[in-house]
Amino acid sequence: MSIERQPARLATINLRRQLDAMENKPTKPEKSFMGLLSPKKRVEDTMDTVDNEYTRVLNYMQSIRNSMRGE
């Protein structure tokens, strides 16, 4: 069977490549908001909680890698 007829394998390879890019990307330090009038959650934080199937699979793959490393 040719590689063009294996969509699940191609999807897994692409997800692994994306996960490697996510792990190599430097993380931004968290900003802490202080004061009585500071917002509790920013709009970007609430937008990040909406997960689609793609990001859920990436999160699962990342947690599996972390558990295999012993983290």
**pLDDT tens for each residue of 32-46:** 767 777 666 655 554
**In contact, 9 and 3? CB cutoff 8 Å:** yes
Which CA distances in Å does 7 have to 10, 31, 60?
A: 5, 41, 19
pTM summary value:
0.53
Taking only the tens place, the pLDDT of each residue in 5-55 is 788 888 889 889 998 988 887 777 666 767 777 666 655 554 555 568 888
Who contacts 62 (Cβ-Cβ below 8 Å, separation ≥6)?
A: 19, 22, 23
**Hey, what are 59's tokens?**
């999160």
